Amino acid sequence: MSIRLAVFDCDGTLSDGQAAVCRSMESAFAEAGLPNPDLHSVRRIVGLSLPQAIRQLAPDASDEQRHTAVESYKQVFRAMRLDGSLQEPLFPGMAELLRSLHGKGWVLGVATGKSMRGLKSTLAANGLLDLFSTLQTADLHPSKPHPSMLLTAMEDAFARPENTVMIGDTVYDMECARAAGTQAIGVAWGYHEGQELRDAGARAVAASAEELEELLHGD
């Protein structure tokens, strides 16, 4: 029987960390002496690795300012995690979906712009860490849409591209899947619009966790 691998993005797909991302980015820009970032633009870059996201948000900043912003963002996010103020709830139905897929023999993975420490903390806090067989993060790979995360996930799971699907909420996820030769399914509750996801290569865009499960079982 062929191995079926479902690789999920985290922020905007599994969990909703929008407020924490915006708060951390505002603090990071202030620390670096940069003007406040546009929060709509901040939401649009979720899914990129942190250095690439800050380069995109502050293209005219100096290397020193970008470095300061990156380190400050990490410190603010870590402080919120340590003091208990960080909120990254799962989107409705996602925990049930993951447990259902796992129970039906799917191999589960994550490919995310988060760090490994941040990803494991988010999954553990929601009781999901043990469901995943492969975790790929921005501190181990080039940023999406480079296919490195997805290619490594397939190697870990001994899965073939035709039996692998990338599930995400941004065009970076869809482009990553296309570069890796896998299928791609978008979700409508994240940071990019459904039509953008289709234009970037999604074969479908799910409006709910229940619809996403139906699409996966249709593969």
Q: Which residues are catalytic?
A: 9, 11
The answer to whether 5 and 163 are in contact (CB under 8 A) is yes
Only one residue has tokens 């980015």, namely 25
> Rg for the chain (alpha carbons), in Å?
17
Number of Cβ within a 10 Å radius of residue 22: 16
169: which 2 tokens? 């909420």
Q: Which amino acid is at 69?
A: A
Q: Which amino acid is at 83?
A: D
Angle subtended at Cα 197 by Cα 154 and Cα 111, rounded to the nearest 5 degrees:
30
What values do phi and psi take at 175, rounded to 5? -70, -35
**Which burial class, exposed, middle or buried, applies to 59 when counting CB atoms under 10 A from its CB (0-12, 13-18, 19+)?**
exposed
